[in-house]
Chains A and B, each alone.
Chain A
């Protein structure tokens, strides 16, 4: 069974930069997996941030960017704000089905 792995937790200082990654147990993540990234705050539904590896939605702040980093998908936050504290999930497309990662809890401290 395919597993998508993310860092369980990361901590970053306000104004800093942090990179979250998303790996697949099947091997290298490529653009063919159409990596998506979501932000979820407590009590709220997830909000899409990035699709197709690096494309932003109209509401995605400029400080968020997506990429492929080595054999993983990556979400980088540059100039982190206190309101970026949240859970972040990646979503990969695997042969028609889709699979979320376990999420990264980002703490801004």
Chain B
């Protein structure tokens, strides 16, 4: 059974760097055709895709936030870490990590974490 869980600070100050960890079970990023993505959702607003790391350490970022984002993985710990610099109140959101399955030209986020609400405020 695949599960994912996000962890990290619930409150960060403007200009600080946010570090969130996604700890997962039921799959390994050492095997092919999987990845882990990060998606966020400001309160009452739409989902926003942020970044994705594939099993082979290939990484993708949303263009508008690329300069502020970093994604890394630790296969020994079954973790993926999201770093976002220079946080602003508009970055207040629930941050989700999700398991990506892909192959034969198909991609889908089939398992999601419960999400963690991060508030940016002084």
On A, residues with C-beta under 8 Å from B are 1, 34, 36, 38, 40, 45-48, 51-52, 55, 57, 89, 91, 93, 96-103
Contact = CB atoms under 8 A, between A and B. Distances in A.
Contact of B113 (A45, A52, A98): A45
Given A1-B64, A45-B113, A36 B46 contact: no
Q: Is the interface of A mostly helix, strand, loop or mixed?
A: strand
A102 B49 CA distance: 11
Contacts, number: 64
B52 A45 contact: no
B8 to A, nearest CB: 16
Contacts of A40: 47
Nearest to A32: B105
Interface string B51-67: 01000000011111000
Q: Is the interface of B mostly helix, strand, loop or mixed?
A: strand
A97 B110 CA distance: 18
